[in-house]
A and B are shown apart, each in its own frame.
Chain A
Amino acid sequence: MLVSLTAAEMLAAARAIAKKIAKPVARPIARPIARPTARALAALAFLVIGVCAAAEGSEREPVIAAAASVRFALQDVAAAFYLETGQRVRLSFGSSGNLARQVRAGAPYDVFLSADPRYVEELARDGFALDAGKNYLLGRLALVVPRGSPLAVDGSLADLRLALSDGRLKHFAIANPEHAPYGQRAEQVLRRVELWDAIRARLVFGENVGQAAQFAVSGNADGGIIGAALASALTDRASAALIPKQWHAPLHHRAVLLNARSASARSFYEYLSSANARTLFRKHGFDLPGESS
């Protein structure tokens, strides 16, 4: 093979090859190689577009953009939906604020499950959703404390106050109040019990409530305020206590259809209010609108 030749051998080989194929008329040295390269590029572009188009051709499973607070519950609901209807959905989790921003930027989501009706109302007002959607869940906040933490599991947050003053508390996790509804409500709670100013320097913010839960439950923080439904799925790693719901504005979760493209998306949207879905949501620790808890 040519690859193992030295430069001198290469030179000789090139001359030999060139001599064999050379025509008597000398060619200009600097002739551009653009034409064959352009042809190769065009062929490649066609190949790529073709493969992408082939992938597009198959029926796309609708994408559900969901607040991280419903993660575990929604996985169960999606599994039940698949068992009942044979239709699959793809789940993408994030903070409600970030997902709403992505919807505005043109993300190909079909259903948006927000942990705050405000984001859905703004999307509907600006024409990014079919209508103003429906409230389908009511979330609760919980104090979570990982195994081995010096913090007591006390939903009234009395021990949190003590731990702050005696220096036991190093880090405390909540979701980012800027764009995560559970973070905003956690801030309300901490302000209400007048701990916000004292705890501020100890706070670590998750990008969404799922990441805050990860910080809190992994033991990297001494505790955190997260969604009760997330906490209930993690009882093998941490203990949790509900925080009184009068301490913060209600956490209404709102679902909305973003477009009319997918029939499966619509049936999944309807399925969220079905008896089976409601049972699953309740088992995960959510309250349901129109029911007393």
Chain B
Amino acid sequence: MRAPCFENTASIYPASRAEGHIEAMDWTALWLSLRLAVFTVVLLLPVGILAGRRLAYGEFAAKGLVEALVALPLVLPPTVLGFYLLGLFGADSPLGSAWQAFTGTSLVFSFEGLLLASVIVNLPFAILPMQRGFEAIPREVREAGACCGMTPWQVLRRIEMPLAWPGVLTASVLSFAHTLGEFGVVLMVGGNIPGETETISIAIYDRVQAFDNAAAARMSALLLVVSVVTIALTFAFSRRLGRRFN
């Protein structure tokens, strides 16, 4: 039933595939995803600590609005978020053209653009658990430190951080795992460029399109393990946080 033109092509294909680009695990994509996740967490840590403390301790008029804005990426469809980010960083946008003028490269479809998108997408995953962590510290504990003459920096370092660390670690683990798994936003603002914006989630999608199910299965299994570990750690941290003051 086969058309004659396919007879000779079938034989060359497996041989060329062996020496081609297809590997069981896309290490470039995995390394890129890990780099992206580490940078995202590193950038989000100070942001999350500052914002989480402010939201936990502060009482200000727009607090409800700020909390809603921080939580927005949780419920916004990733393609919608990606669409707006594309508008925000695009070559025609003020941010995109300023970046272009400053660095000579475009912000969209670059690692830096992906990192910026990833930081924005992960804001709720970083800020909300940290806010819970800082909220769990009784006010008198903080004030005692201040009364005794500790600088706010010392209070943060010696009193708040040792008490709020389960929240901070939960935030880091969630942001890390979520960055590894993010798909929609990465596809919208990153494209699919090996070594630049092709994360492991995108590589899985690409491998399936390339009929390389073995590699897709292996990379999916890896992400499954990472997700299970994430859930286990998050639960363990939040139990710890809950136990402390009960």
Q: Residues on A close to B: CB < 8 A? A: 2-3, 5-7, 10-11, 14-15, 17-19, 21-23, 26-27, 29-33, 36-37, 40-41, 44, 47-48, 51-52, 55, 61, 63, 68, 71-72, 75-76, 78-79, 90-94, 102, 105-109, 142, 152-153, 155, 208, 210-211, 213-214, 217, 228, 231-237, 239-242, 280, 283-285
Q: Give the nearest-CB partner of A229 in chain B.
A: B9
Q: How far is the CA of A228 from the CA of B6 in the complex (A)?
A: 9
Chain A residues with Cβ under 8 A from B108's Cβ? 105-107
Establish whether residues B165 and A3, one from each chain, have CB atoms under 8 Å apart when the complex forms.
Answer: yes
Q: Give the nearest-CB partner of B148 in chain A.
A: A18
Chain B residues with Cβ under 8 A from A68's Cβ? 209
- Closest chain-A Cβ to B21's Cβ sits at a distance in Å of 5
Establish whether residues A61 and B109, one from each chain, have CB atoms under 8 Å apart when the complex forms.
Answer: no
Q: Give the nearest-CB partner of B161 in chain A.
A: A2
- Closest chain-B Cβ to A292's Cβ sits at a distance in Å of 14
- Return the contact of A235 from the options B6, B16, B46 (Cβ within 8 A): B6
Q: Give the nearest-CB partner of A206 in chain B.
A: B209
- Return the contact of B153 from the options A5, A36, A231, A285 (Cβ within 8 A): A36
- Return the contact of A214 from the options B10, B43, B141, B209 (Cβ within 8 A): B209
- Closest chain-B Cβ to A121's Cβ sits at a distance in Å of 21
Q: How far is the CA of A71 from the CA of B209 in the complex (A)?
A: 10
**Which label, helix, strand, loop or mixed, suits the secondary structure of the B interface?**
helix
Q: Known contacts being A71-B210, A153-B1, A283-B8, is A19 close to B148, with CB within 8 Å? A: yes
- Return the contact of B2 from the options A31, A40, A72, A240 (Cβ within 8 A): A240
Establish whether residues B96 and A106, one from each chain, have CB atoms under 8 Å apart when the complex forms.
Answer: yes
B5 within 8 A of A: yes
In the assembled complex, 16 residue pairs joining A and B whose CB atoms fall closer than 8 Å, in A order, are A6-B244, A17-B158, A26-B149, A29-B147, A32-B152, A75-B17, A76-B16, A79-B21, A92-B191, A92-B194, A93-B192, A106-B100, A106-B108, A107-B108, A142-B3, A211-B209
- Closest chain-B Cβ to A133's Cβ sits at a distance in Å of 20
- Closest chain-A Cβ to B150's Cβ sits at a distance in Å of 5
B215 within 8 A of A: no
